[in-house]
Amino acid sequence: MKYKRIDHTADLGIEVYGSGLRELFENAGYAMFDIITETNRLNALSETTLNITGEDWPDLMVNWLRELLYLWTGRGLLVKIADIVSISEYSLSANVKYEPYVPERHLIKSELKAVTYHQIRVEQKDTTWEAGIIFDV
């Protein structure tokens, strides 16, 4: 399981899972766009590289998802694949494959306004990693 929705008053929350940090951050990007649109209908037409830093793992997660959300809200791009190329202490580099939004072709399921710091967590649980993320809707 990559992620699941969690109940949260007036906002939308998810719990994300990964066997390591790379998979955790990839799954978080996937989860966000899976909430926004039908990701199985997207094509990876173009690619860009993102380099993100943070003060700690939770801050890196928020910065990562905010940058991905900006691709949608600021540039009208829907992300199909977010492939983490490298991740080290509080920084990551990723290749992001996307396609421009076409209203006649893409269904928008949910509008996310922001990624919040409210109850953000990124933690290791035995041999896996988990994150809790709240979106402002």
- Given this model, what pLDDT does residue 28 score? 98
Asked whether the beta carbons of 122 and 57 are under 8 A apart, the reply is yes
- Distance CA(70)–CA(77), nearest Å, equals 9
**pTM (2 decimals)?**
0.94
Going residue by residue through the chain, which has 137 residues, state the pLDDT in tens, using 9 for 90 and above. Answer: 789 888 766 689 999 999 999 999 999 999 999 999 999 999 999 999 999 999 999 999 999 999 999 999 999 999 999 999 999 999 999 999 999 999 999 999 999 999 999 999 999 999 999 999 999 98
Instruction: Please give the Cα distance from 122 to 42 (Å, whole number).
Output: 28
Q: Which amino acid is at 60?
A: L
β-pairing, 12-18 with 3-6?
antiparallel
Q: What is the DSSP letter of 104?
A: T
Q: Which pLDDT belongs to residue 10?
A: 67
Q: What is the pLDDT of residue 8?
A: 66
Report pLDDT for 3: 93
